[in-house]
Amino acid sequence: MLKQLFLALTVLCTVFLVSCLDTEEKIVINKNKSGDYTVTLDMSKMLAMMAQFSAEDSTKAKEKKDSTLYLKSFVDTSAALTVKEKELFRDGSVRIKGDEAEKEMKIIFHFPFKNISDLPELRSSYMAVIDKLGISDKMNKQDSSDVEKMEPDLSKNKFVLNPAEQAYVFAAAPGRISNTLVNKQMISEKLKSDSTMQMLQQMSMMMGGITSKTIIVLPKRIKKYNGNEVQVSKDKKTITFTNSFSDMLNRPEAAEYNVEY
């Protein structure tokens, strides 16, 4: 069944990517100002939906795949990347994880960074770097199984992954991390005139509960914060902001946040 599901998912998630997944962005800051940036794209909802329309063979074993591609060798030999891009992404990785029995399908991008000042550039450019390196092709060559073939060409769908990204400015420096809305009008104009945005909005309503979550783990206690649907850990060092895709389009200020520590 995986083959049919993954082929269908590839088509659907390439066209309607944001409606196929929940996203989790996790930022970990260490005491020495280094850290880790991880983005998890969870397509399990769509996988479960597709399974409902496929006839299962109860005698067939459920497939389970887990494959990780480390970027170092590709980054070091790439003629397409700048010196700065090589420095930022050399230690990164892309992981594809699928479990038919658990109806689980995830793509996990992980990028460590040496200084928090590098985080804004890393965050804004990782999809472009994935595109330059041709990661989709490399994942397929590494393992030709259906799970790895499932990976959509994310780099060419950055707009649908985060259609409101250009309306915000993300900033990170020692003691503060923020995401600030700077162009609300751009979002409303796209909703009125862009057929893709309108289609994504409709798909989000059909799928229901599509969420975008940002988790920030800090080396010190949080002094103050603001944002939408906030959860703070007991030790005051981890904060989580949660938004729906509907909020991103209809109430874009909900995606703003500010954390001081």
Distance CA 45, CA 66 (A): 18
Confidence (pLDDT) at 65: 82
Residue 93 has pLDDT above 70, yes or no: yes
Nearest to 1 by CA among 53, 43, 46, 56: 56
Containing H/E element for 127? Answer: helix 119-133
Mean pLDDT of the chain: 79
Cβ-contact 133, 154 below 8 angstroms: no
| Structure-token match 């920030």, residue found | 216
Q: Could you give the C-alpha distances from 160 to 13, 64, 141, 244, in angstroms and in order?
A: 10, 28, 26, 14
Confidence (pLDDT) at 64: 82
Cβ-contact 105, 150 below 8 angstroms: yes
Distance CA 239, CA 236 (A): 7
Q: Which sign, positive or negative, has the C-alpha torsion 14, 19, 20, 21? A: positive
The CA dihedral of 182, 187, 193, 199, to the nearest 10 degrees, is: 150
Sheet with 257-260, side-by-side order of all strands: 168-173, 176-181, 257-260, 224-227
Output the pTM of the full model. 0.80
Q: Which two tokens stand for residue 52?
A: 């409902």
Residue 199, Cβ neighbours under 10 Å: how many? 14
**With b meaning 16 or more CB within 10 Å and e meaning fewer, what string describes 104-142?**
ebbbbbbbbbeebebbeebbebbbebbbbbebbeebeee
- Tens digits of per-residue pLDDT, 166-222? 789 999 999 999 999 998 887 777 666 666 666 666 666 655 557 889 999 999 999
Residue 24 has pLDDT above 90, yes or no: yes
Confidence of residue 8 (pLDDT cuts 50, 70, 90): very low
Confidence (pLDDT) at 5: 43
